[in-house]
Structure 1
C-alpha cells in the first residue's frame, strides 16, 4: 500500500526555485507542498519526456527528500562511449514522480510532459547518493522497465546557475552500443502515449510566400507582437565571429573535444527571417550578389529567424572543398557549423553541444546548396589520420561545453594536414620575353605595424591567372618596397627584377614549412581572398602545448596548461641529450638518444619477396601497410625503445629477435641503454620514415617498452597479458578478460583491450606520469591474485608448470623494467598475416575471432572504427592507494 513520504523543512526550502517559476493556477504540476504517495522504501527515479522549447528528457533521482533533476537533450544512451550532456535544473517535489500532462502555453516549461520511465535506484556502493551528489560524481544502478544497470553522472563545470554534467552508461555487461532506447520505446509508462507536442509559438508570423531578397538595409520590419530585427541588424547584433587557433594535435591532450571537417573556402555569417536574407563575409562584406543560390536556399527556411555561421566552399569531383575552385564553375555549398541566434533567443552563451543540437533540428530537412558540417568521430589523431586519407585540408577541434565567443581563442583549434597561409601581395616579378604575365608573387605577413617579407610564390598559376594578376597588380606599382627587410630579388627563372606594389590584395598559398629566416618553403598559389584585408595576414604559429582552459569555475583565474605532455614525447630532433634515470635495484641504467635530421623517404628493396605465403603478401605489401597505419602506430611508439622480430626470407623460414641495432641510416632515432650485462642501441620510431625502414628490414613484429625516453623508470600503463596456454581455451580467456574488466571498473580504472595477434589478449590500464615499475607490478600481482581467487578453475598465479594443471597462467611480472609488449597494429609471424588489433570492450565476447584482423582487413577496420588504442595514450589515472 502506498504511504506518503513527508517532506522535511530542508527539502521544502530546496523547492523554493521550483515554486517561484510556476503559476499553479495555470499548470497542473504538483505544488511544493503536495505530499508524495509512493510505495516501498527504495529511492525512486523517473524520466520525463518533455517537449518544451525542444524535446528533451528530464532525469530525476530521489535524494534527500526531493527529486534532483537533470535535462538531457538527447536522452540516455546505452553506449558507454556516448557521453550525453546533462544540465542540472531546479529540484522537484517527490509528488512530481507521478505527474504527466500538458503544461499550458504561456506557462514555464510549456508543452507535453510524458512519464517516459520510472523505477527505483541505488548508488555504487549503496546509500551514498547525498555524498556522491555533493562530490559531483554519481554512480547509480537503475531498476526500471527501459533503463537498467549502472550509469555515471559526472559534473564538469557550471553554466550560469546551472551545473553541467555528463551522463553515460557504465561498463557493467548491460551496455548495448548501437541501441537507441528512446527510439525503441517512445511511449509513456503511465498512459502509453507516444506523440508529444511542444508549445505554440506566438512571437512571430511567418511569410513563406514572400519573395526572397538579399537585405541591404537596417530598417526594422513589422511583427504582430514585437518588432523584429532585419537580417542585417541581426548580424550587427551578434557582432564578430568566433575564430580558431592553429595548433598541433598535442594541444588536444586535455579536455573533451568534438571534431569536424575543416572546410577550405570563404567564412560567412548569414541571417534570415520572414523571407529576407543577409549573407556577409567575416569582415562584413556583402556576399549576396556573388552567391545568389545560397541566398535563395536560406530564404526558403521559412518560419524561423536565425543567424548561422559557416563556410562557403566549392567542391572537386571527389566532393572535397577546394578554395581555388571558388568562382570557377564548380559546385558551391554553404556548410553551416554553428547557430548563434534562433527565434529571438541568443544561443551564443549555450554550450557547444546544445548549439549543435539546435542547429541539427533547424537544418533537419535542408537541401543543396546548404549543408551541415560533417562531424568526425574518434580522437584528434584518428580525425587527422582520416583527413589525410580523404584528402581534406584538416579538422576542427572544438572543446566540449564552451560558449560561442567572438575573437580568437583556444577552444576552437585548427589541425591541418597541409599547411596554408594567407599572405599580403607586396610585389611580383614579370615573365621574361615581354609577355604580359607575372613570373612570381612577392608576399609578406604583418608584424606589428610593419610588413615582413615572406618569400616568392612561383607555382600554382595557369597562364590566364598569370595575366590577370599582372594586370591587377600593375595598377598599384610603387618605387620603394613596402617591406622593411626587402631583399634584392632577381627571379632566376624569369630573369627579371622585382616590381613592388601597395599591399591591397591577399593571396592564399599552400606550403611545406617556414624556414628559419621566416620564409615560406615551396609555396604554391591557391587563389585570391577577397574576404580578407592585408592587415589580417599574420603568420600562424601552431600551439603545441595543451590548449588553455577557460576561467576556473571557483577562482575565476585561468588554469595553466597541464604538464602531461612534458617529457612524454620522443627526444628533440635538434639535440641528443643524455637520459638520466634513477637506478633501479640491481642494475644501472643510462640511455643516450641519437637523432639526426629527418631522413628522406626510405626506399624498398626486394619488394616482390613473399613474406606471408598463405595470402601471398609480399614485402611491398608490408611496406604499404606500414605507410597506411603510420598515423596510428607512430603516436603509440614515439619515445619507446623497441625489440624487433625479423623474417628476411618470410615467416616460413627461421626468423630472429634483435634488441640492439648498430648500423642504421642517418636520421633514424636510436636510444642507447645500459642493461644489467651489456649496453644496447634500441630503435625508436618517432616518424613514418622509421616504420618504413623497419618494413624494408622485414621487421614484422615490434615489441615496445611500457615507458618512454627520457622517463624510462615511469611506465605509461599496467599490462595484463592473458594467454590461454597449451591447455586453455579461448572461451576461458574471454571469461577471464570480462572478469578483469569488471574488477578494474569497480576501481573506476579505464582499460584498453587488444588482441596479441595470436591467441591471447592484452589489457592496458593507462596511467598518469609518476608511477614506478614497482608500483605497477605490485598492482598487477594484486589484481591477478584476486582474479585467480574468483576463477580458481580457469586461472592461477602458480609459476610451476606442473602445478598449473592446464589453467591459464597469470604473469604480473610482464610489468618489470625492460619488459615489452607487442605494439598495436604490429603484424605477427603466422602464415595468414594476423595483426595485434585494439578492440572496444563490446567486442570482447565469445564471438570474437582474432584471426579476422589481418594485414588485408585492418585498413577497412580503421576507416570504420578509427584508432581504438588512443585512450591508452591519455593516461590521467592513478593507481588506488592500498
Structure 2
C-alpha cells in the first residue's frame, strides 16, 4: 500500500517535464490534470505514429500512473534479430492514450500524431513493470490489434539526458521475420487514417513574394478578452455543433421555416485563424489528412478569423451527394451551411437568416471544392417533392429566427426522401462460395445500456469491400453475441453459426422501413462511418408533432403578472419573468482553475469546469427551463458550503426567473445553454437541484419523484429490494420509470407524466405507491412520519412532490471526497451488485461514451397517472 501511495504522489511530479514543454493554449494535447478513461483489462499500452521532425513511432506503457514513453524511429519489429533503437522521452499523462490529431506549428512536437496501436500489456513475470523499468530490463507481453506477443526493452546508456534502449521481439512463437507491420498496417486504430503530414516549414518572404493578407482586426471586446491563439482553440470555444432531429412534414406546421438540401456525407467544422486552418469532424477528429484538397482550399478564407459548419460530400455524375462515394476518387466538396464565429464575434446567438446573410458575404468569391448550401424554395411538402424528383436524400428544415444552439434540438429538422440509419456492426456471415469474403453484416442499434439486433445487411458491397470488411471484422470476433435476444444466424452452405464481433465499427445503411419487431427492411450498405461511435447508433424515430412557433430561446418576452394557486401555505406563482432581455453569450472564462475542490483526489476547479463542459449535451436538455437551487463550495468540499436559491450579480446573458415564495421573490438561475453550466462551474456550484416543473408551467410537474434513502440504520441491499418492488408496482400500472443514483447512498426513481397533472395529483400517486410498498415490506419501510414510530425502518416520503421542492439534477456532482455523480441507470443495473461509488467525475464521461444518455426517457412525458 505504501508503494502505491508513493507511485500516485510521484506521478504528478513526473509529468513536470511534459507540462514544461507544452503550451496548452496552443496544442490540443491533454494537460496533465485531464482525467483519463480507465481500462478494465489491465495496464494499457499505445503506439503513436508521429510525423514531427521525422516520422517515428512512440511506444507508451502505463507504469505507476503515467505513460512511460520511448521514441522508436523505425517502429516495432516482429523479427527477434532486428534490434531497434528506442530513445526514452518524457513521461506522458494517461489521458494521452486516446489522443490523436495535429500538433500545430510552433508547438513542441508539431506535426500529425495518429493513434497507430492500442491495447493492454503485462510483464514476464506478471506485475513487475515498475521494478523492471528501474532495472532497465523490461520484458513485456502486448495484447493489441497489430502487436501481439512478447518484446524486450533493454537500456544501454544515457545520451543527452535521454536514455537509449534497444527494442526487439521475444522468441515466443509470435515472431514473424520478414513481416513489416508498419507497412502492412499503416492506419490509425482510431480514425483509419494512414497518411501523415509533418510540420510546415515557413520560408522567409522575399521582396518578389506578395505579403500574406493580414487577418481581419478583431473587435474591441474580443481583444479585451484575449485573442484566440490557434484555430483548434477557436473550435473548442464553439463545440459541440448543432444537431438536427429526424421529423415528418407535419412537424413543420406551426412555425416559419427555411429549407436547404440535405447532404449525405461527413459533418465537418472548420476554423480559420491567423493564416492557420483546423478541420475537424463532429466528434473532434482531425480531417485535414483525409481531405487535403478541402483543407488547402480553406486557406482562401485566411484573411478572416472564423468558424464555419458544413458537410464534406462526394458527388455523383448528376451532382448529387452520395456517402458511399467518399474516398473513391470522385469530386469532393465542402458544402458550408452555417457561420458560428466571424472576425472576433461569436455569432451563434444571431437569428438564422442573419447568419446566412453573413455567410453568403463571406463565401461570395469561393470556388470548388468550397460551396454554400443550396436553399430550396416552397413549403415543406413542396421542398421534399423537389428533393424526390432530383434524387436527393431529403431536405433540412431550419426554423426562422432560431440561434445556433449546441446539441440536438427541434430548430433543425431532417425531412428524408429515403430512410437511412447508422448502425453498429455486431457480427457477420461468411460468403457461401468459400472465398474469404463477407456475406452479410449483422447490425444493431443502442437501447439504453444494451444492443438491440436490427437485422442482416446483405447488399450494397463490391467484391473489394466484402474482402476488406471480412479482414477488418475477423480481428474482433467474440464468443458470445453482444446483442440481447440474438437470433440464430447460420451460413446456408456450411450450416455454421454467424461470427459475432465486438461493436467497434459503424455502418450507414439505406432501407425502406422498420418492421414491427425492430428490424430493417431491405437494408443496403452505404459505407463505414469513422466519424461516429457505435454508442451513438440509436434508432431514429421521426418527429410528427408540430414545433411550436416561438421567437427563439434567446428572445424572451416581458413580464406577465398573474395570481397563482396556493400550495403548502405559499403562493405558487405570483410573478414569473426573466430578469433581463437576452444578449449574445460571451465565452465563459475560468478563474482560479488551480483551486483544489476535492482534496482527497486532487481535483481542481478546472477539472469541474471540464466535466461540466463535457456533460453539457446531456445535462442541458434535462435542466432547460427548470429553476435551480445551488450548493456551492468555493473553498472545496473539505470546508463548509452553502445553499443558494436567489442569485445576484449574474452576467447579462444568463437566464434567470423571478419566483415569489412565501415572503419574498427570488431570482433563480435557469440553465438553457452550455455556457450557463460553465458559469455555474466557475462559481464552484458543484450540486444543482432542479424543480420537477419548468418555468412555462410551474404548477404542473413533468414527473413523479420517488426518493429512496436507506437512512442511518438501513442497508443498501434493503434499498435495492424496495426499488425493485417499486418498479414491479409501476410496471403493473404500465408506467415507465427511470432510476438514478442520488450521488450519495440513495436512489431516485422518476415517472415521467403528461402535461396537465398537478403537484397534488403527483403527491397523491406517490403516497399510494409508497403505502403499497410499506404493506409489502413492513419490516423494511414505513410511511409513518413520527421518528419514534419508525423503529429504524426506511421512511418513504412522498412530500418531494410539492411545489418548490427539488431533486438533485442528473449528472450533478456531490460534495463528497471521491467526487460522486448522480447518475441515471438502466433498471438492469439496479441489483445488489450496484455500487454508486463507482460513478464519479473520473468515470461518468467514459460511461456516457459507452451507454449514452439513460435519462432521456424521463423527459419523454406522455404518461397518464391512474385515478385514485
Instruction: Output the TM-score relative to the length of structure 1.
Output: 0.42
* Larger Rg computed on CA atoms: 1
